Chains A and B, each alone.
Chain A
Amino acid sequence: MRLASRRVPLVVGALIVAALALAPAGLSPFLVQFLINLFMLAALAESWNIIGGFTGYASFGNVAFFGIGAYTTAVLLTVAEWPFALALPAGGLLAMAFAGLIGMPILRLKGHYFAIATLGVAETMREIVYNLKITGGGTGLTMPITRSPLPFFYLMLAILVAATLVNWWLSASRFGYGLIAIREDEDAAMAMGINTAFYKTVAFALSGAFAGLVGGVFAYWITFIDPEGVFRVIVTIQMIIMAVFGGMGTVVGPLLGALVLASVSELLSTQLVSLAELFNGLIVILVVLFMPKGLAEVIRKREFSLKKLARNLREYRV
């Protein structure tokens, strides 16, 4: 029974991926670009979900890993003249290694302290990249232009599929249950014999690896990166918003969140970039107020009435 119920989403997912893989043939260049952007946001949301959603460690600095991936790939492409096929995995690996190393000390912090420490990591990373010579400092790096967007389309899709599968595996595996146990009660998890430090560090490294891979593809896709453009706090904000909006610690939640937010942001940003960000901020406020468990939970329980949504307020107000 349990196996069957897990097989259905897998089949549905495979069908959606197959349809998406065939899609570029019949779509306008604009829509292909939109889909690449959507895959990127969704993959970032899934990557954040590993540490923020399953493990309960709200990282406010995942953009650091995204940036490391982007810069490693870009530097290897332009300065060392590696082929992209080697530069990209190198970016992902370095981001993973960095996440693991920095995770060892800062994953000992909890709650707010962890959140701000990760914010600090991202800010520090931006400063370092800004001051290094090899990264081009403030002027950034320019990569050769590729004609067709299709390689980026399939790469982003592949990373998204991999990230989603990892989340799916976490949702029903010994390792995933360990992470959830840490989220629910870390002391109890430790008492049950879970090596919490190891679990957390691996989760953080996994999250960093996917963010790094996405960053690498992103860098080559837009062909120009600079510290201000890559290490933007808004990228982290988007990861968090998408995961929270859709439903933290669920597999489809971040996908739902990415779909809704990417679409609306796209519509709004044709007007004004600030307007799209403003909208992101409003969404955060509304989601926290009315559906802190996310859209996926609201849909699953079919609680669409305002009365049900306002229940959250009755519970937490003073």
Chain B
Amino acid sequence: MLALQVLINGILLGGLYGLMALGMSLIWGVMNIVNIAHGALIMLGAYVTFWLFTLWGWDPFVSLPATIALLFVYGYCLQRFLLNLIVRAQLFLTLLITFGVEVVMVNLVRIFWSSDLRQVTPTYAGANFAVGGITIPYVRLWVFLTTVILSVLFLLLLEKTRLGRAIRATSEELRAARLTGIPVAHIYAVTFGLGAALAGAAGGLWGMLFPITPIMGGGLTLKSFVVAVLGGLGTMMGAIVGGLVLGLAESFTATYLGPTYPNAISFGLLVLILILRPTGLVGRRA
């Protein structure tokens, strides 16, 4: 029975990891940018949700579209006016500039909103229900369902719409995409905006389960990266599978080995997968 409970916990958490990694994988796959600021975007999403909740009393689930919209605009501007300037430079430089963006974001948040631990606590935060001896908190379940809905919506957008096709075309061949009349700079910015929106949504949901601080993003960047690599880069399904794998791994090791080494576990998984399956769990590329 304990094993089943741990399994459920792992899946519920894994959905959120999947959502985080989706944004990272998208930005990486399309523009070849490893976005170190991804965790900072998650952090920003968490704070937006927190402030909407604290100042105006907006329910965190209701305010999610607002968080998503704000983060999209923020991400769009970041790519359009800053990252686009350097996007075709060598990998190290794009990685480094997002590193700089992360440091700036984290410290601005620190200066304006302080380093205090904060929490989003709607009235139903502690409520849960039991099915056959397994306890499931409502919030965790709803968070999981929301991540599923958002992931499906995002995949549909990418696969079925004209915009999605433009993004995929740009990802495959920049020059050819430009020749066919795709506004590449705009598409890049939209892509980053979408990645930021996914991160923001993940942050808003994260804030309902865990405390929020300005420096929460560092570990989450590492996790998003691990999940994106676990699943196989650029494959969107991979991010979701990877998220579930990491969620389950953390849940099981925390129960059976103790909760003291969360990062060591993500890192161990990463190295293992890089050695055993360099293309990821569902990746195909040779």
Contact = CB atoms under 8 A, between A and B. Distances in A.
Interface of A: 58, 105-106, 109, 111-113, 115-117, 119-121, 123-124, 126-128, 130-131, 233-234, 237, 240, 244, 272, 274-275, 277-278, 280-285, 288-289, 292, 312-313, 315-318
Given A278-B103, A318-B84, A285 B97 contact: yes
A284 B91 contact: no
Contacts of A128: 261, 264
Nearest to A282: B104
A249 to B, nearest CB: 12
Contact of A316 (B86, B174, B225): B86
Interface stretch (B107-115, B123-131, B196-204, B248-256): B107-115
Nearest to B112: A274
Interface string B270-282: 1100110000000
B51 interface: no
A316 B97 CA distance: 13
B260 interface: yes
B111 A275 contact: yes
B263 A240 contact: no
B165 interface: no
B261 A120 contact: no
Given A284-B96, A288-B86, A116 B103 contact: no
Contacts of B108: 278
A111 B92 CA distance: 7
Contacts of A281: 99-104, 107
A106 B267 CA distance: 12
Identify whether the interface residues of B are mostly helix, strand, loop, or mixed: helix
A106 B89 CA distance: 24
Contacts of A119: 222
Chain B interface residue bracket vs A:
35 or more
B145 interface: no
Contact of A240 (B96, B184, B219, B262): B96
Contact of B97 (A111, A112, A288): A288
A284 B97 CA distance: 6
A109 B264 contact: no
Given A115-B95, A120-B263, A233-B218, 10 more contacts: A124-B264, A131-B260, A278-B111, A282-B100, A284-B99, A285-B100, A288-B100, A313-B85, A315-B88, A315-B89
A272 B222 CA distance: 28
A210 B235 CA distance: 41
A206 B282 CA distance: 38
Contacts of B229: 113, 116
Given A272-B111, A281-B107, A317-B88, A244 B274 contact: no
B85 A274 contact: no
A117 B89 contact: no
A272 B86 CA distance: 31
A277 B34 contact: no
Contacts of B267: 117, 120-121, 123-124
A127 B264 contact: yes
